[in-house]
A and B are shown apart, each in its own frame.
Chain A
Amino acid sequence: MPENIYTIIIVLTGFALLILGLNIHEAAPFLGFVLAGAGGMYALQRGGWLLKAGELIKRTRRTYYASLALCLLAYPLIFTWLQSPYWIHVATLAGVYVCLALGLNVVVGFVGLLDLGYVAFYAIGAYSSAIFFHHFPQARWAFWLLLPATALLAGIIGLCLGSSSLRLRGDYLAIVTLGFGEITRIILTNWDTLTNGPKGISGIPGPVIARYSFDKTPGFGLPRVANYYFLIILLACAIGMAADRLNHSRIGRAWMAIREDALAAESLGINVTVIKLLAFAVGAGFAAMGGVVYSSLIGFVDPMSFTFMESAMILCMVVLGGMGSIPGVIIGAIVLVVLPEKLRDFQQYRMLIFGAALIMMMIFRPQGLIPSRRRKQELLEEEDESGTPAFEHPPLE
């Protein structure tokens, strides 16, 4: 029982610090707060406390998730009470990016394929929904059908892209996917009759469920956006759980095997092409669902929302959080959405500070914020320099 209480205390402390941080309105004190936080985390890690906390959380899973759920529920209420609903909007946006990062993590983290055009699937989801509602604005319930339908569509497009390009290795695959992302954006810009070109599509309605419309406040003085907040949390949880289950299945083991040594995987009877394609399709499906929610949340889509910069940003979330680690990627997405928002005061220096922060991160914690179990071992081993570090695989003996 006391163990459960410790877990609750840990979660509540983290949550309180988050609320506190978000309420520091000036950029410079906020930066100080973040640096102090990073220093504190470092000290905790040095003292071995982070490891202990991790183990404690593992032992008290239920309590941990229950208190997290409570915090997520309290979040919009707190910011309504503080009269800054803007942060509910930011949190919802962060949720969309959590879905995207979880999807890209399947491709980059689990299978080790570099996909630089991932934003295309996000765009496909957002535009499918926008185009549908442009033609059938009354059919607002269809939102719930659009979620799985666009995921399926994006999955199929992912299969097409994959089947033509997965034979390529490493850098070449990255270039082809980069091209795919750009082609998608250019098509969206130029196919005026379907996509309304660079002007984009506006007036995308929110969904309804039974009689309940997402355009109304859910009560308790909460703003309209709180509907989407709860929706995206449910979706992100579902996607996170799906990714975790896949990772710990026969398919997930095959993904990991391919990442570690594709040739050995193939001679163990794994159909490498099919299993890679599956990862592409799953990642594409997750992104499309994120896109559907995004288009209703913002009510407007245009090609400029789906540039290469977005792909790069999502990739940063995955790398920063810790490739292959689901909790890591979630944190990575949240940090990279919140940080630029908070740095708005610095105006033209914003991206500079942001870039510097990323570089520092990669120098001091290359394995990511919460590395996956396996990568952690990999890096620890490199640190003590003993044993047999190099596992080189010549192409063939």
Chain B
Amino acid sequence: MSQAPPLLSIRRLSKAFGGLKAVSQVDIELRAGEILSLIGPNGSGKTTLFNLISGIYQPDEGEVWLQDHRAVNLVGLRPHKITAQGVARTFQNIRIFPDMTVLENVMVGFHCRTQSGPLSALFKTPAQKKEEQYIVTEAQRRLALFRQLLPLINEPAKTLPYAYRKRLEIVRALASSPRLLLLDEPAAGMNPHETKELMADLHRLRESGYTLMVIEHDMLMVKGLSDRVIAFDYGQKIAEGTFDEVRRNERVIEAYLGKAARC
């Protein structure tokens, strides 16, 4: 392995809601080009971790360093600034823009990588027209990543079937050209066939240079996808390693099956 500093390093990250420690003293390192899966029982703090990284929640303690040209601490930045730094995400309960078309959804994703302001829109300057054209072509290129979406680009997003909406949300996140992509249960609600397709698509994403952190409950998916797996329970990291290592870890078995399973 190379000696380059990790793309993301999370240190002693903690967040409590009242008395509930949703995330407590978590350390994670992520190398560029890696696919890291987060697993853990319901309510173990996985989504909260994503919300902390993406700036939707402020942590009580800890740091999140993103290695760009230089290292940047994401803690304290507003969500849109964090996206501009190169971290994009999807949501567990899909949050696409229902009344916009598929294409428009993706076009919105280019917001922080483009700059036309109100005046250039009012006067339709050549630069603005060129940028709009650029956004449309680039959005179509990103959509081509999921071939199924291409024939639907002018449909309102709310008319898409569930699995397509999940894919659309991923494409929309890609529009901001992130270095790191956080996917919250991308395969939830998909049938085995769709899950397999998604897995191939995510592998292709990695090959084209993205780094992925994926929350997932579907163990076949986790197995087929991950370079490394981290298991959570009660807001703490309880195991870390390859899929097989984590699967055999006693604390993980206990977390999933309860103490009885050990006897």
Task: Please determine whether chains A and B interact with each other in the same assembly.
Answer: yes
- A residues within 8 Å of B by Cβ? 242, 245-246, 248-254, 256-257, 260-261, 263-272, 278, 282, 374-375, 377-378, 381, 387-388, 391, 393-394, 396-397
**Residue from A246, A265, A387, A396 within 8 A of B122 (CB atoms):** A246
Instruction: Assess whether B54 is in contact with A261, with CB atoms less than 8 Å apart.
Output: no
Q: Which residue of A lies closest to B55 (CB)?
A: A267
**Residue from A251, A272, A375, A388 within 8 A of B158 (CB atoms):** A388
Instruction: Assess whether A253 is in contact with B108, with CB atoms less than 8 Å apart.
Output: yes
Instruction: Assess whether A270 is in contact with B112, with CB atoms less than 8 Å apart.
Output: yes
Residue B26 at the A interface, CB < 8 A?
A: no
Per-residue A-contact encoding for B105-119, CB less than 8 Å = 1, 0 else: 001111111101110
Q: Mark out the residues of chain B between 83 and 141 whose CB falls within 8 Å of any chain A CB in the assembled complex.
A: 83-84, 88-89, 91-93, 95-100, 104, 107-114, 116-118, 121-122, 124, 128, 131-132, 135
A-side contacts of B176, CB under 8 Å: 268-269
- CA of A84 to CA of B117, assembled, Å: 46
A282-B118, A388-B158 known; A264 vs B83 contact (CB < 8 Å): no
Residue B159 at the A interface, CB < 8 A?
A: yes
A260-B98, A393-B95 known; A250 vs B80 contact (CB < 8 Å): no
In angstroms, how far is the closest chain A Cβ from the Cβ of B127?
Answer: 12
**Residue from B80, B92, B131 within 8 A of A271 (CB atoms):** B80
Which of B83, B95, B162, B175 has the most chain A CB atoms inside 10 A of its CB?
B95
**Residue from A242, A248, A268, A391 within 8 A of B108 (CB atoms):** A268
- B residues within 8 Å of A by Cβ? 47, 51, 54-56, 78-80, 83-84, 88-89, 91-93, 95-100, 104, 107-114, 116-118, 121-122, 124, 128, 131-132, 135, 156, 158-159, 162, 172-173, 175-176, 184
- CA of A242 to CA of B159, assembled, Å: 31
In angstroms, how far is the closest chain A Cβ from the Cβ of B110?
Answer: 8
Q: Which residue of B lies closest to A391 (CB)?
A: B98
B-side contacts of A251, CB under 8 Å: 116-118, 121
In angstroms, how far is the closest chain A Cβ from the Cβ of B250?
Answer: 30
B-side contacts of A378, CB under 8 Å: 99
Instruction: Assess whether A269 is in contact with B121, with CB atoms less than 8 Å apart.
Output: no
Instruction: Assess whether B116 is in contact with A377, with CB atoms less than 8 Å apart.
Output: no
**Residue from B47, B83, B100, B135 within 8 A of A257 (CB atoms):** B100
Instruction: Assess whether A245 is in contact with B104, with CB atoms less than 8 Å apart.
Output: no
A249-B128, A250-B131, A256-B97 known; A264 vs B91 contact (CB < 8 Å): yes
Instruction: Assess whether A257 is in contact with B112, with CB atoms less than 8 Å apart.
Output: no
Instruction: Assess whether B100 is in contact with A256, with CB atoms less than 8 Å apart.
Output: yes
Q: Which residue of A lies closest to B95 (CB)?
A: A264
Instruction: Assess whether A264 is in contact with B96, with CB atoms less than 8 Å apart.
Output: yes
A-side contacts of B132, CB under 8 Å: 249-250
A-side contacts of B131, CB under 8 Å: 250
B-side contacts of A394, CB under 8 Å: 93
In angstroms, how far is the closest chain B Cβ from the Cβ of A184?
Answer: 25
Instruction: Assess whether A268 is in contact with B83, with CB atoms less than 8 Å apart.
Output: yes
Q: Which residue of A lies closest to B117 (CB)?
A: A251
A257-B97, A282-B118, A388-B158 known; A265 vs B108 contact (CB < 8 Å): yes
Ranked 7 nearest A-B pairs via Cβ: A269-B112, A249-B121, A269-B83, A264-B95, A374-B99, A260-B97, A397-B92
B-side contacts of A282, CB under 8 Å: 118
- CA of A377 to CA of B99, assembled, Å: 8
Instruction: Assess whether A267 is in contact with B118, with CB atoms less than 8 Å apart.
Output: no
Contacts A250-B116, A267-B83 supplied; 18 other A-B pairs, CB < 8 Å: A245-B122, A250-B121, A252-B121, A256-B100, A260-B97, A263-B56, A264-B91, A267-B88, A268-B88, A269-B80, A269-B109, A270-B111, A272-B80, A278-B118, A377-B156, A377-B158, A378-B99, A397-B93
Instruction: Assess whether A253 is in contact with B56, with CB atoms less than 8 Å apart.
Output: no
Q: Which residue of B lies closest to A381 (CB)?
A: B158
In angstroms, how far is the closest chain A Cβ from the Cβ of B206?
Answer: 22
B-side contacts of A387, CB under 8 Å: 159
- CA of A387 to CA of B165, assembled, Å: 14
- CA of A177 to CA of B104, assembled, Å: 31
- CA of A261 to CA of B111, assembled, Å: 15
A-side contacts of B114, CB under 8 Å: 250
